[in-house]
Structure 1
Amino acid sequence: MSHRHSEYPTAEPEPGQSSVENLPVGRFFEETSELPGRGLRPGEDKQRRRRRRTVVMLTVLVVFAGVVFGLIMFLRDLLGMNEAQDYEGAGSGTVAFTVAEGDGPLLIGGKLESEDIVATSKKFVDAFTAQSDGREIQPGTYEMKYQMSSSAAVDALLGDGENQVHYAAVARDLRQNEVFEVLNTSTRIPLSEFQALAASPQQFGLPAEAVSLEGYLHPGEYRFDVDKTATEIITEMVDNTFAQLEDAGIIDPAEQYRVLTKASIIQAEAGEADYGSVAGSIENRLGPDNKETSGLIQSDATVTYGLGRKSYELTPEEKDDKSNPYNTYANPGLPVGPIGSPSREAIDAAANPDDVPYFYWVTVNLDTGETKFSTTYAEHLEYVEEYQNWCSKQKPGRCG
């Protein structure tokens, strides 16, 4: 007797007819697990059907999401919502932005966007096309703001906005010709105008012994009004140097020149942490009782300045050349003038040197700026050897 559930009545199969063929359709789909040869255990068919339903549902969801996304994008296009957005107003903060020689609006726009000065390059280019009236953006460094409207950015770069300035970053220890190059790049005033002014330094209040503006072009970040002349720019920088000397208590013009010359050597020879010790060592060398170096400062930086190059290496012939007025190996005392633009910290150190017993100093690691001091030449030679060993492990030209 069969104990199978009798909800669906069945008929006896005809001879030669399989039991499967005789099953009603509904019964067939419900009881496939019981069909011979399927090899499925109870519950496996239910799991398989559940997985199929899950796949179908996920497929439907993906298709639905794609349809919704496409509809949204269609509506955004229809309503103009996909157009490039723009910031509003003049922006905030400050940032120095450099336009290189040959940069066009598209490249400039990309740079502005990458620095978050404008929202999109496209909006900037559109604004430039509408506002430039055939003009070009000149190479130079500009003071900009973050998140400016494209129109405001164009105004700033074309010089049309209110209170526009030329931004110039003058680093410490730059030589006069390097400072002029920075000013030329920033303001587009020809180099020749600055060079002509340097030929007559006394017009800016420098002492008679000053042969140029070297040392008096105070380093710092400047924001010059766009209509300032070369004379006005140099006057501002020189006045800053005089103000710094006076703040350090140096009033006499001759002493100012002397302090500024020392400060420029300190700036070139040492890291800021060692300014005071180098200043004290120079004072010891300049002292009347100096028997250690016989009044010679022996600064590589001064010699190479006189040779018109920047280097840490000198030949014996170059050290012996007395015709070089900046050669402090061959000529005792200070050189004929400053060799660069000293910082406020270097000027303070030159005006108030540390009281130290040293006569010698050498930077033994140019990467870290580690400087070692000594009172005797024998000890100094040990540190020189340490520097040379360090140089032997560097790439060619690192110590040259």
Structure 2
Amino acid sequence: MTEYGRGAGSEPWHPEDPLYGDGGWGGQQAGAGQSPYGGQPGHYPQQPQQSQQYGEWGTGQQPAYGQPQQQSPGYDPQQQGGYGGQQTGGYDGQQYDGGWDTGQHAPMPYGADAVDPYGGQGGAYGGEQQDYYRTSDAYPPPEPPARRRPAPEPETDWDPGPDQGEHAFFAGGDDDDDRDDEGSGRRGRGDRRGRGSGTKKRRSGCACLLVVLVFGGGIGGVGYFGYQFYQDRFGPAPDYAGNGTSEKVTVEIPKGAGGYEIGQVLKRAGIVKSVDAFVAAQTENPDGNTIQAGVYTLNAKMSAAAAVELMLNPKSRNNLIIPEGRRNSWVYAEIDKRLELRKGTTAGVAKKEWKSLGLPDWANNNKDIKDPLEGFLYPSAYPVAKGMKPEFVLKAMVQQATEKYEELGLKEKADDLNLKNPLQVLTVASLVQAEGKTHDDYRKMAEVVYNRLKPTNTETYQLLQFDSTFNYLKGESNIHISESEINSNQDPYNTYTQKGLPPGPIDNPGEDALEAALNPTDDGWLYFVATDGMSKTEFAKTHAEFLKLKEKFDASTKQ
């Protein structure tokens, strides 16, 4: 075997190849049959000497399969391999000896097909490959014309017409004309899919029909979903027409609910057809944003606009409205009526369950309080409908009152008003609510309470002398009370005989009365008289002024 790049012929690959032996990088070639690793010859199947080759450097040629490739010798004048010896190498796959051109050649391990620009494949592993180096077959004569294969036609982006290669199906010709004529030498575009396939390609009527159906179905599907998308985004929202059916539906709108949440409640109940339709109708209505929380009785399958109009009508509201200044006894009776319960049911629940209804820790701090819930059923509108439990309704009212009192800061302002606790602040507000006739005189009424509670009061000596407290303990609303009846009663709620505030609130004050209790006037008012016996209240600072006001009252009530 000759050294790599210097012998006249090619030998099969072997461990004694100079690439691995002393003749490789910087050494001498190993002897025949001698292994460079341990001296034992390796047993490998016969295989041609191979190396990946991608092109000829400097010659512009690329030999065909089995043809020798000219090799440029290495630079070393001593013709020794490696650094200081003969070197095998290559640039872009070219084998390189390391010297100036001496005309020597080395075999190309992987030949390239003259037709295929990407090169052919070598022999199989362990196969034989003849060496034509320096023989008459090194440059074989051209193949006969019958075996020659024309060069591939250049590809362009041009789409041929019916007479230049387009399929008969699209050109309107016969399907039988669509063939790949193997003997014609004309390959066309089919050459990339396999040489000499020659299989007949047909589009049967069923296949064509399938294509049309699939294509048409796809267009139909896209059109349908496109229409749905347009309707969802730009079309009108689904809506019923008219005022609905005769079926009545009761719904509860929670506190703080906006248009979208209200629409959801109505849609779930079958009142409106879509949430978007309700939101649009509420937006278009000038009063749409004034819809309040509560229970509403509406019709099934109403148009969104009709539902908004009916919800703005007080007749549709099925709420229990607690007016300012109402006592608990009145509230209990109204709850019984709404829930269609036996009279006294809610009062019994309140008396039994008051500890579990959410009262603040400062409530009911006096053993003389007649009703622990008095003052904590805050005036407002509450959803109360048949089927609900009394304790549920009472708990909602107590929660509303507790939140309001925390908001107003009753607990923090008690000391500033010289009161013992926030319950006394609430009690003052209940007195203002009961004795005041108009919103304008609430602050004056609050000042009267605080001035009479002062230790320096030498006019009434800390006696409030309010008819409202006596009427509360009696469960009445009487403005004509005899002195003998008042003076003979020693109940803690009788402010004619008991100094200071009553044990607890005597009604459920509203926000105006609460604000007045927290911010009274400072004008020195000490007396007041409802001079017309109804709604007109006048105030006085001295006892003499009070007597004059009393004369006016007597005169108005005698007529």
Q: Scaled by the length of structure 1, what TM-score is found?
A: 0.56
| Residue equivalent to 1:244 | 404
| Residue equivalent to 2:364 | 207
Deviations 1:194-228 (CA, angstroms, capped at 9, x unpaired): 21233253333233324411121111111246554
Counterpart check, 1:181 vs 2:341: no
Query: Could you say which structure has the higher helix fraction?
Result: 1
Where 1:222 maps in the other structure, the secondary structure is strand
Where 1:219 maps in the other structure, the secondary structure is coil
Deviations 1:240-261 (CA, angstroms, capped at 9, x unpaired): 1122222221126962211111
Alignment equivalent of 1:374, drawn from 540, 543, 546: 540
Gaps of 5+ in 2: 1-241, 251-293, 304-315, 415-419
Query: Could you say which structure has the higher strand fraction?
Result: 1
Counterpart check, 1:258 vs 2:396: no
Rounded to whole Å, the distance in 2 between the matches of 1:238 and 1:221 is: 13
Structure 1 residues 301, 267: closer, same or farther in 2, change over 3 A?
same
Identify which range, 332-341 or 222-231, moves more after superposition: 222-231
| Residue equivalent to 1:17 | none
Contact preservation (8 Å) 2:319, 2:383: yes
Deviations 1:100-159 (CA, angstroms, capped at 9, x unpaired): xxxxxxxxxxxxxxxxxxxxxxxxxxxxxxxxxxxxxxxxx97345xx56999xxxxxxx
Identity, in percent, stands at: 27
- Map residues 23-102 of structure 1 onto 2, 5 A cutoff: 87-88=243-244
Rounded to whole Å, the distance in 2 between the matches of 1:350 and 1:360 is: 17
| Residue equivalent to 2:549 | 383
Rounded to whole Å, the distance in 2 between the matches of 1:342 and 1:281 is: 17
Alignment equivalent of 1:297, drawn from 464, 477, 480: 464
| Residue equivalent to 1:172 | 324
Rounded to whole Å, the distance in 1 between the matches of 2:295 and 2:556 is: 40
| Residue equivalent to 1:346 | 513
Rounded to whole Å, the distance in 2 between the matches of 1:273 and 1:326 is: 26
Counterpart check, 1:217 vs 2:384: no
Where 1:214 maps in the other structure, the secondary structure is coil
Rounded to whole Å, the distance in 2 between the matches of 1:185 and 1:199 is: 18
- Map residues 124-139 of structure 1 onto 2, 5 A cutoff: none
Cα RMSD between the aligned structures? 3.1
Residue 165 of structure 1, CA deviation: 8.3
Structure 1 residues 218, 150: closer, same or farther in 2, change over 3 A?
same
Residue 357 of structure 1, CA deviation: 0.1
| Residue equivalent to 2:236 | none
Rounded to whole Å, the distance in 2 between the matches of 1:244 and 1:87 is: 38
Contact preservation (8 Å) 2:431, 2:468: yes
Rounded to whole Å, the distance in 2 between the matches of 1:309 and 1:250 is: 29
Write out the 4+ residue segments of structure 1 that deviate beyond 6 Å after TM superposition.
149-152
| Residue equivalent to 2:529 | 362
Considering only CA atoms, is the larger Rg found in Structure 1 or Structure 2?
A: 2
Residue 89 of structure 1, CA deviation: 6.5
Higher RCO (C-alpha under 8 Å, 6+ residues apart): 1
Structure 1 residues 323, 234: closer, same or farther in 2, change over 3 A?
same
Deviations 1:349-379 (CA, angstroms, capped at 9, x unpaired): 1122222201101111245x22111111111
Residue 267 of structure 1, CA deviation: 0.8
Structure 1 residues 241, 221: closer, same or farther in 2, change over 3 A?
same
Structure 1 residues 90, 345: closer, same or farther in 2, change over 3 A?
farther
Gaps of 5+ in 1: 1-85, 95-140, 153-163, 394-400
Rounded to whole Å, the distance in 2 between the matches of 1:382 and 1:293 is: 17
Structure 1 residues 365, 142: closer, same or farther in 2, change over 3 A?
farther
Contact preservation (8 Å) 1:189, 1:230: no
Counterpart check, 1:324 vs 2:480: no
Counterpart check, 1:283 vs 2:450: yes
Rounded to whole Å, the distance in 2 between the matches of 1:189 and 1:352 is: 41
Contact preservation (8 Å) 1:218, 1:237: yes
Letter in 1 for 2:519: N
Structure 1 residues 371, 227: closer, same or farther in 2, change over 3 A?
same
Counterpart check, 1:194 vs 2:360: no
Structure 1 residues 304, 289: closer, same or farther in 2, change over 3 A?
same
Letter in 2 for 1:341: N
Rounded to whole Å, the distance in 1 between the matches of 2:398 and 2:526 is: 32
Contact preservation (8 Å) 1:264, 1:340: yes
Letter in 2 for 1:199: K
Rounded to whole Å, the distance in 2 between the matches of 1:248 and 1:229 is: 30
Where 2:411 maps in the other structure, the secondary structure is coil
| Residue equivalent to 2:83 | none
Rounded to whole Å, the distance in 2 between the matches of 1:390 and 1:345 is: 28
Alignment equivalent of 2:391, drawn from 224, 231, 235: 231
Rounded to whole Å, the distance in 1 between the matches of 2:301 and 2:527 is: 57
Residue 166 of structure 1, CA deviation: 4.9
Contact preservation (8 Å) 1:142, 1:186: no
Counterpart check, 1:272 vs 2:432: no
Rounded to whole Å, the distance in 1 between the matches of 2:548 and 2:329 is: 36
Structure 1 residues 191, 203: closer, same or farther in 2, change over 3 A?
farther
Residue 181 of structure 1, CA deviation: 1.1
Residue 335 of structure 1, CA deviation: 1.1
